[in-house]
């Protein structure tokens, strides 16, 4: 199992590799122009926004105590926010949408990696949607939001029963429920939701939303999501429902914690 210390080292290594590759590309621009740019995954206009993909053995969540089956590409939120004049919430949406669309393209074509041209086309297509305020995830309009960490309920039947009781309780009517997972992708979380017949109004935050960059674009040694900044709701009151006693480092914000 990947520990938090190991994950810290992995993220720092990815940043180093990404920085080095950008530098090498810039210093060898003339040489590369002699060759077909379509042969390269990296491009001076795109590579600066992407961290290298996590290796399969490192694609895990220490807090969720799980290995992830679907890979994620972290985007450099600092460069996104600066270059495209995006807010933190928009940059997070950018990373989420980019990963979801990339996964769909790879599945449709039965390939493991996107060709350079397709990757570049996808990146700018997502950029256009973000600029037009077209998002896959629409934040709830309630001022009280119930964040429900569901990872224990995925693997433990006893925890699933507790979750189902919580979701049918009267307190859930006081705010908008949002499932949060550090272990499941969007597709997997939607399957979990449908399989267990949870209410259609439940919104879902999968691990594609989490990033090693803070709200100010500073890279940290762990992935996180600032829920208040991301949801961006005036007068927001966050309630975190979880079966664990400890709030994971990945969850950033001021919460009123409840246990189920």
Domain boundaries, the chain: 4-131, 144-259
Look up the pTM and report it. Answer: 0.84
When comparing pLDDT for 21 and 160, which is higher? 160
Q: Does pLDDT of 49 surpass 50?
A: yes
Q: Does pLDDT of 72 surpass 80?
A: yes
Residue 37: pLDDT band by 50, 70, 90 thresholds? Answer: very low
Percentage of the chain surpassing pLDDT 90? 72
Q: What is the pLDDT of residue 251?
A: 97
What are 83-122's pLDDT values in tens digits?
A: 999 999 999 999 999 999 999 999 999 998 888 889 999 9
Q: What is the pLDDT of residue 241?
A: 98
> Which neighbouring-strand residues pair with 146?
177, 239
Closest by alpha carbon to 54, among 9, 88, 89? 9
Helical spans, DSSP H, in the chain: 4-27, 29-33, 77-84, 88-109, 116-131, 151-155, 157-167, 186-195, 227-231
Report how far residue 92's alpha carbon sits from residue 76's, in angstroms, rounded to the nearest whole number: 10
* Topology of the domain comprising 144-259: Rossmann fold (3.40.50)
Tell me if 79 sits within 8 A of 44, measured CB to CB.
Answer: no
């Amino acid at each position: 199992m990947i520990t938090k210390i190991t994950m810290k080292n992995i993220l720092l290594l990815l940043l180093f590799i990404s920085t080095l590759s950008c530098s090498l590309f810039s210093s060898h621009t003339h040489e590369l122009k002699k060759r077909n740019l379509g042969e390269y995954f990296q491009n001076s206009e795109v590579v600066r926004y992407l961290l290298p993909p996590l290796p399969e053995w490192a694609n895990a969540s220490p807090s969720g105590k799980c290995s992830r089956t679907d890979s994620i590409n972290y985007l450099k939120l600092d460069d996104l926010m600066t270059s495209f004049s995006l807010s933190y919430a928009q940059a997070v949406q950018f990373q989420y949408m980019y990963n979801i669309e990339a996964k769909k393209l790879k599945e449709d074509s039965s390939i493991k990696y996107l060709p350079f041209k397709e990757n570049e086309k996808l990146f700018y297509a997502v950029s256009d949607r973000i600029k037009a305020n077209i998002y896959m995830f629409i934040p709830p309009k309630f001022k009280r939001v119930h964040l429900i960490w569901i990872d224990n309920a995925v693997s433990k039947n006893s925890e699933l029963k507790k979750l189902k009781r919580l979701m049918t309780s009267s307190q859930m009517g006081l705010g908008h429920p949002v499932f949060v997972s550090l272990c499941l992708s969007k597709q997997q979380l939607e399957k979990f939701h449908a399989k267990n017949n949870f209410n259609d109004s439940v919104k879902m935050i999968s691990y594609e939303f989490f990033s090693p960059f803070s709200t100010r674009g500073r890279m940290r040694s762990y992935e996180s999501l600032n829920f208040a900044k991301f949801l961006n709701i005036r007068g927001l009151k966050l309630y975190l429902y979880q079966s664990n006693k400890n709030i994971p480092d990945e969850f950033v914000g001021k919460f009123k914690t409840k246990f189920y």
